[in-house]
């Protein structure tokens, strides 16, 4: 585990880099965070199953798929 002094040292090192390398550091940290998040997701959960049941009489399954994607983006 890093202590405050280590973090300050890392921050100083990053500040000493040219902007394009600072961006690379940022991109790498984002990559590591996403990698950590993906590892935590063990199984696909089906908690959404049946969530659109109330619309089954109004739309076909294809229309529901399109609507779900549309609503998901909102």
| pLDDT tens-digit map of 54-70 | 877 888 888 888 888 88
Return the DSSP state at 56: T
pTM: 0.46
Do 56 and 36 lie in a common domain? no
Do 56 and 72 lie in a common domain? yes
Higher pLDDT, 49 or 34: 34
- Judged against a pLDDT cut of 70, whether residue 71 lies above it is answered with yes
Do 36 and 49 lie in a common domain? no
Query: Which domain covers residue 35, as residue numbers?
Result: 4-40
Structurally, how many domains does the chain consist of? 2
Higher pLDDT, 32 or 38: 32
Do 33 and 52 lie in a common domain? no
Inter-residue contact 52 to 64 (CB < 8 Å): yes
Interior angle at CA 7, CA 40 and CA 17, nearest 5:
100
Mean pLDDT of the chain: 84
């Amino acid at each position: 585990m890093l202590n405050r002094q280590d973090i300050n040292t890392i921050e100083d090192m990053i500040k000493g880099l040219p902007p394009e390398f600072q961006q690379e550091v940022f991109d790498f940290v984002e990559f590591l965070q996403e990698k950590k998040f993906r590892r935590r997701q063990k199984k696909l959960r089906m908690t959404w199953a049946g969530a659109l049941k109330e619309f089954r009489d109004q739309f076909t399954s294809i229309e529901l798929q399109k609507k779900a994607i549309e609503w998901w983006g909102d």
